[in-house]
Chain A
Amino acid sequence: DAGVIQSPRHEVTEMGQEVTLRCKLISGHNSLFWYRQTMMRGLELLIYFNNNVPIDDSGMPEDRFSAKMPNASFSTLKIQPSEPRDSAVYFCASSFGNFQPQHFGDGTRLSIL
């Protein structure tokens, strides 16, 4: 079975550029989570969706960040404009229903120069 697939695996770009991270959920899962992981702050939840609807975006750092689910199996996280402090590993995870184990992708390592 294919797991959660994230692309790209690595992204290096200059500050001010738009960055788009992509995530394909596991087929049949209806909850989607975007996390950011840094040494300083650990793993932080940015936003999550149930059935394509954003439920809690309180973790989104600021208006430069936006996330969408154009369909039930795909999501994007966009940063515009990007800043050096956005450098981190970004994970998406999916699950089937509430309170269920989450399945993580292998992340996108983002470096903003």
Chain B
Amino acid sequence: SQQGEEDPQALSIQEGENATMNCSYKTSINNLQWYRQNSGRGLVHLILIRSNEREKHSGRLRVTLDTSKKSSSLLITASRAADTASYFCATDAGANSKLTFGKGITLSVRP
């Protein structure tokens, strides 16, 4: 089964609104990463948060990590139509660098 599971599966918002996406996982992790995938393209790395970090910011992105609840959230503030994409969380655990991806969240931002 997937290590990372995102919710909701799909999210539709108006441009300018904030989008919050959640990810839960099952086992202890080294770090958690968020990726974006535009239609017909490969995944693009957005942000990495380590297991000893609680919050991280990058531009309009804010990621939180709660290891006690085994969950993370990705907040996109002041969304734009160009943010329309699928978003994936990925976790790695253990000594190797193998990432396990969730099934993704489809975000639609209406102009």
A residues lining the B interface (CB < 8 Å): 4, 31, 33, 42-43, 45, 48, 50, 55-56, 91, 93, 95, 97-107
Q: Is the CB of B42 within 8 A of A42?
A: no
What separation, in Å, do the CA atoms of A88 and B70 have in the docked complex? 31
What separation, in Å, do the CA atoms of A98 and B97 have in the docked complex? 5
Q: Is the CB of A56 within 8 A of B96?
A: yes
Interface size class of chain B, counting residues whose CB lies under 8 Å from the partner chain: 20 to 34
Q: Is the CB of B31 within 8 A of A4?
A: no
**Contact residues in A for B2 (Cβ distance below 8 Å):** 42
| A contact face: mostly helix, strand, loop, or mixed | strand
- Report which of A45, A93, A101 forms a contact with B42, defined as CB distance below 8 A: A93
Confirm or deny: B80 has a beta carbon within 8 angstroms of a beta carbon on chain A.
no
Name the 10 nearest CB pairs between A and B, nearest first: A104-B42, A101-B45, A98-B97, A42-B103, A43-B101, A104-B43, A106-B42, A105-B42, A106-B41, A99-B97
